[in-house]
């Protein structure tokens, strides 16, 4: 608010409040009951010189409109200005030459409240003396009479019951605040002040009702009324100050301190508050051994625990990110170990795909030539998931391939691999596996099954599960002999291998995809290309599972036999 706006506002308020009381509550020729006496000290403390000057101008206008002499108007203007500016100078110091304070005064402590009351009593006494001098100079009365006492009591009473609420409410609108902010201590002070206002007003009303019957002299009557009100306020404020002092020391200020610490902790711009500083602030509140001290101790402990938790969480997050980066590398290594360069031969068409449930998985597939006329295909599923399963998968894949390329029969390949996997298998992990070797020139397919899901064979346009007795899982027990089986594929026949991540895929209701749906999906596929068929199955799996998380690795291999030289 600009200077001239403060002057104008103060003048208008003073004038508007003065005139009705001058008209209806006149005590003597030049004065009346004046609730407006609360404004000059209050606005002087809030606005500085503009507030005091505005009230003096409002008084000058009211005096002129009331027909007072120029001398009385001039002296009244000076007296009102001094009455309004004196509290400002006493509060902020005579050396402060600013026209107005930087921010509104706040009566947010008992010390400030007592200081205000002392300044008001002194200011009211000065005003009473100036009123006596004015009466003497203008010839309207003597220097010290009961009228001066009435002025003193009037000013003290209304500065107490009206001035304090004005300053408290104005303080909630200090510069930089978008909304009114009133502290807990101010609320308590304001509540007791309002109770004092009600008490003094009731005493004044009762005294006016009774004394107006027996005392015809208005000046004497109002002196007695003000005296009763001052006595009531004195007793009430003594009790109030004692209670507020106790509350300020043991309740309001400690609670506000804790609230301030909590707010600063929440609003910390750097994102990390100084825990040591918070602990030091809380330490100051631990001496009282009251409920507030327990609250401070609890808050201090909470902040320290939270700080330790955040530190641990930060370390864990960094470790998790490091592990995540390493898992990405491991996933890439695992992906690189699975063959993706599918042979382009006229005798067959081959495609395979794996989708791990985690960064790395325990499923695997492989294909390689044993010799020019024999193609080996392998699929396997390691128990468990994640890094342990991936490591066990690598070992199983290498062992199977090494034994197969050494010229051993399929039964011997799985038996040898099984014995080696059982060595030092302290985690009791195991592998289900299926391996076949296709003779490209004849279509003969030799195969062995170590506890794996039965593959599907397509013959004459129909997919059916291959019925054969499966052997025991790899790495489950040493000395297992695996039986080798064989069948013949005609040109156009195909072989679909998969892991249990396909048939045991679940939706949100934990319904499984199942073997029959897999067979029907393969049957409905009209594509004659291996890659397109795998895409069809994966699309149907995704549609079935919906937004349910993938619980297991999904691995598929599809081989189409076309015969010798694609005949």
472, 510 Cβ separation under 8 angstroms = no
Extract the tokens encoding 562: 């076309």
DSSP character string of 277-344:
HHHHHHHTTSSS-SHHHHHHHHHHHHHHHHHHHHHHHHHHHHHHHHHHHHHHHHHHHHHHHS------
DSSP state of 506: B
Helical segments of 139-163, H only: 146-158
Model confidence at 308, pLDDT cuts 50, 70, 90, reads confident
- By residue count, the chain amounts to 567
pLDDT in tens, 326-347: 667 666 776 777 888 899 899 9
Model confidence at 272, pLDDT cuts 50, 70, 90, reads low
557, 368 Cβ separation under 8 angstroms = no
Q: What is the pLDDT of residue 475?
A: 93
Determine the average pLDDT of the residues in 20-28.
68
433, 450 Cβ separation under 8 angstroms = yes
- Other beta carbons less than 10 A from residue 274's beta carbon: 14
Model confidence at 381, pLDDT cuts 50, 70, 90, reads very high
Average the pLDDT over each of 201-205, 278-282, 304-308, 558-562 and give the range with the smallest value: 278-282
The segment with the largest mean pLDDT, out of 33-37, 65-69, 272-276, 435-439, is 435-439
pLDDT in tens, 491-533: 999 999 999 999 999 998 999 999 999 999 999 887 778 999 9
Q: What is the pLDDT of residue 110?
A: 80
Q: What is the pLDDT of residue 413?
A: 95
Q: What is the pLDDT of residue 274?
A: 63
The structure tokens 């009206």 sit at: 162
Map residue 456 onto helix, strand or coil: strand
Checking if the pLDDT of 450 tops 80, the result is yes
Residue 46 vs residue 256, higher pLDDT:
46
| pLDDT above 70: percentage of residues in the chain | 84
CA dihedral of 133, 136, 142, 145, whole degrees rounded to 10: -30
Q: Which residues pair with 485 in a beta bridge?
A: 447
Nearest in space to 533 (alpha carbons), one of 495, 563, 478: 495
d(CA 502, CA 93): 87
440, 373 Cβ separation under 8 angstroms = yes
10, 25 Cβ separation under 8 angstroms = no
Backbone angles phi, psi at 558, to 5 degrees: -130, 125
What Rg value do the Cα atoms of the chain yield, rounded?
48
Model confidence at 404, pLDDT cuts 50, 70, 90, reads very high
109, 190 Cβ separation under 8 angstroms = no
Q: What is the pLDDT of residue 359?
A: 65
Q: What is the pLDDT of residue 57?
A: 94
Average the pLDDT over each of 49-63, 82-96, 436-450 and give the range with the smallest value: 82-96
Model confidence at 301, pLDDT cuts 50, 70, 90, reads confident
Checking if the pLDDT of 31 tops 70, the result is no
Extract the tokens encoding 520: 């029907």
Q: What is the pLDDT of residue 286?
A: 64
Determine the average pLDDT of the residues in 446-450.
96
Nearest in space to 11 (alpha carbons), one of 68, 52, 65: 52
Map residue 101 onto helix, strand or coil: coil
Determine the average pLDDT of the residues in 132-147.
72
Map residue 163 onto helix, strand or coil: helix
| pLDDT above 90: percentage of residues in the chain | 35
d(CA 68, CA 59): 11
104, 174 Cβ separation under 8 angstroms = yes
Determine the distance from the C-alpha atom of residue 299 to the mean position of all C-alpha atoms in its chain, rounded to a whole number.
Answer: 18
d(CA 433, CA 428): 16
Map residue 462 onto helix, strand or coil: strand
Q: What is the pLDDT of residue 26?
A: 62
Q: What average pLDDT is seen over the chain?
A: 83
Checking if the pLDDT of 488 tops 90, the result is yes
Nearest in space to 48 (alpha carbons), one of 5, 7, 99: 99
Checking if the pLDDT of 567 tops 60, the result is no
Map residue 530 onto helix, strand or coil: helix
Q: Which residues contact 161 (CB under 8 A, 6 or more apart)?
A: 38, 193, 196, 197, 200, 201, 233
pLDDT in tens, 161-205: 888 888 877 876 655 454 556 677 777 777 887 887 788 888 888
Determine the distance from the C-alpha atom of residue 315 to the mean position of all C-alpha atoms in its chain, rounded to a whole number.
Answer: 21
CA dihedral of 155, 122, 29, 7, whole degrees rounded to 10: -70
For CA atoms 258, 264, 267, 268, the dihedral sign is negative
User: What's the start-to-end Cα distance of the chain, in Å?
Assistant: 98
pLDDT in tens, 418-439: 999 999 888 889 999 999 999 9
Extract the tokens encoding 141: 């009365």
Q: What is the pLDDT of residue 172?
A: 67
Residue 384 vs residue 317, higher pLDDT:
317
Model confidence at 63, pLDDT cuts 50, 70, 90, reads confident
Determine the average pLDDT of the residues in 132-152.
74
Determine the average pLDDT of the residues in 100-114.
75
Q: In what order do the strands lie in the sheet with 494-498?
A: 348-355, 554-561, 494-498, 456-459, 462-465
């Amino acid at each position: 608010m600009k200077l001239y706006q403060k002057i104008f506002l103060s003048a208008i308020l003073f004038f508007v409040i003065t005139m009705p009381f001058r008209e209806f509550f006149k005590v003597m020729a030049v004065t009346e009951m004046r609730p407006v006496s609360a404004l000059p000290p209050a606005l002087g403390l809030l606005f500085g010189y503009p507030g005091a000057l505005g009230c003096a101008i409002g008084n000058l206008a009211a005096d002129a409109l009331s027909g007072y002499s120029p001398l009385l108007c001039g002296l009244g203007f000076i007296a009102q200005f001094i009455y309004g500016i004196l509290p400002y100078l006493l509060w902020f110091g005579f050396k402060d030459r600013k026209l107005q304070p930087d921010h509104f005064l706040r009566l947010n402590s008992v010390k400030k409240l007592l200081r205000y009351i002392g300044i008001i009593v002194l200011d009211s006494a000065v005003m009473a003396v100036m009123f006596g001098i004015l009466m003497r100079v203008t010839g309207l009365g003597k220097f010290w009479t009961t009228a001066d006492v009435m002025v003193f009591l009037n000013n003290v009473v209304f500065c107490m019951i009206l001035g304090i609420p004005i300053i408290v409410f104005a303080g909630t609108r200090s510069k930089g605040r978008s909304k009114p902010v009133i502290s807990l201590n101010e609320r308590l002070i304001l509540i007791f002040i309002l109770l004092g206002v009600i008490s003094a007003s009731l005493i004044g009303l009762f005294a006016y009702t009774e004394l107006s019957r027996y005392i015809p002299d208005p000046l004497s009557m109002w002196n007695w009324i003000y005296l009763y009100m001052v006595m009531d306020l004195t007793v009430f404020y003594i009790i109030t100050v004692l209670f507020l002092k106790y509350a300020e020391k043991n309740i309001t200020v400690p609670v506000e301190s804790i609230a301030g610490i909590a707010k600063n902790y929440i609003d910390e711009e750097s994102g990390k508050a100084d825990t040591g500083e918070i602990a030091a602030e809380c330490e100051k509140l631990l001496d009282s051994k009251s409920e507030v001290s327990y609250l401070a101790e609890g808050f201090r402990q909470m902040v320290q625990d939270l700080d330790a938790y955040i530190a641990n969480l930060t370390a864990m997050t960094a470790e998790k990110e490091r592990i995540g980066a390493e898992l990405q590398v491991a996933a890439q290594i695992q992906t690189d170990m699975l063959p993706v360069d599918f042979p382009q031969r006229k005798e067959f068409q081959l495609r395979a795909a794996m989708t791990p449930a985690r960064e790395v998985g325990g499923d695997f597939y492989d294909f390689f030539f044993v010799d020019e006329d024999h193609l080996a295909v392998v699929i396997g599923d390691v128990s468990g998931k994640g890094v342990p399963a991936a490591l066990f998968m690598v070992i199983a894949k290498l062992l199977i391939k090494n034994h197969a390329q050494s010229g051993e029969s399929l039964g011997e390949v799985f038996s040898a691999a099984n014995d080696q996997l059982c060595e030092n298998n302290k985690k009791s992990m195991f592998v289900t596996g299926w391996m076949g070797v296709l003779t490209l020139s004849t279509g003969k397919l030799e195969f062995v099954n170590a506890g794996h899901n039965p593959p599907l064979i397509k013959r004459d346009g129909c997919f059916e599960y291959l019925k054969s007795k499966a052997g025991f899982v790899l790495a489950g027990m040493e000395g297992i002999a695996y039986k080798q089986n064989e069948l013949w594929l005609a040109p156009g026949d195909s072989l679909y291998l998969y892991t249990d991540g396909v048939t045991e895929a679940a939706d949100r209701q934990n319904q499984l995809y199942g073997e029959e749906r897999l067979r029907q999906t393969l049957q409905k596929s009209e594509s004659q290309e291996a890659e397109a068929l795998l895409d069809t199955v994966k699309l149907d799996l995704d549609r079935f599972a919906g937004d349910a998380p993938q619980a297991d690795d999904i691995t598929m291999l599809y081989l189409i036999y076309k015969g010798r030289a694609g005949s």
